[in-house]
């Protein structure tokens, strides 16, 4: 609800389930290590490693995190969406 209260995210939708999560509203201070520390708890030993892609340039403040399957990505979205990382709540949607 805190995310929807922000004017620019008033029409927030999670999107169609996917194994890729699109993260926006990241602080300029967030680095890839911060993303790893936030999402590594969702890594399963028997599955492919989670992949992280922190964007730069015009897409700064955004990232993509790819999980081994849709179910794990869904768990991560449910738990982490809205989590304040370095002072800003992350806004997470399923990626395409």
Record the pTM. 0.86
For 10-18, the CB contacts below 8 A with 24+ separation are 12/91, 12/93, 13/93, 14/77, 14/93, 14/94, 15/93, 15/94, 15/95, 15/96, 16/94, 16/96, 17/70, 17/73, 17/74, 17/94, 18/70, 18/73, 18/94, 18/95, 18/96
User: Is 2-94 a CATH 3.30.70.330 domain?
Assistant: yes
Per-residue pLDDT 10s for the chain (96 aa) are 566 666 666 677 889 999 999 999 999 999 999 999 999 999 988 778 999 999 999 999 999 999 999 999 999 999 999 899 999 999 999 998
């Amino acid at each position: 609800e805190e995310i929807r209260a922000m004017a620019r995210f008033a029409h927030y939708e999670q999107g169609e389930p996917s194994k890729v999560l699109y993260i926006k509203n990241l602080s300029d201070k967030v680095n890839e290590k911060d993303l790893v520390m936030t999402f590594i708890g969702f890594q399963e030993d028997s599955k492919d490693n989670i992949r992280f892609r922190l964007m730069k340039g015009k897409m700064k403040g955004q990232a993509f995190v790819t999980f081994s399957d849709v179910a794990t990505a869904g768990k991560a979205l449910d738990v982490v969406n809205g989590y304040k990382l370095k002072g800003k709540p992350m806004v997470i949607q399923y990626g395409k």
